[in-house]
Amino acid sequence: MRGSLHDFVAERFEGTRTLPLAAPPNAWKSRAAVHWVHTLAAGGWRTLDAGVRQLVQAAEVVDVIYGR
């Protein structure tokens, strides 16, 4: 195992070729967070997947159970 969990590599496999799409150093975490915030600010929160809403509801229940 090389590097850190944050040293993410994306590759595309075409037959016997491997095409690199992204490799470290790459600001995956910050770019993903910025994209998410922009999506929410543009009203994207209205179209969140139902599964995500269920995760939020489950987290809220856990918060109530643990008094947060």
Q: Which of 32, 33, 7 has the alpha carbon at shortest distance from 22?
A: 7
Q: Residue 58 above 50 pLDDT?
A: yes
43 belongs to a structural domain: yes
Total of domains in the chain: 1
Distance between CA atoms of residues 25 and 30, nearest Å: 12
44 belongs to a structural domain: yes
Selected residue with higher pLDDT from 26 and 11: 11
1 belongs to a structural domain: no
Distance between CA atoms of residues 5 and 29, nearest Å: 11
Range of the domain at 38: 10-65
Read off the amino acid at residue 39. Answer: T
Read off the amino acid at residue 19. Answer: L
In the structure, what pLDDT confidence band is assigned to residue 12 with cuts at 50, 70 and 90? very high
- The pTM is what? 0.34
31 token code pair: 């770019």
Return the number of other C-beta atoms located less than 10 Å from residue 28's C-beta: 14
The partner residues of 17 in beta bridges, in order of sequence, read 14
2 belongs to a structural domain: no
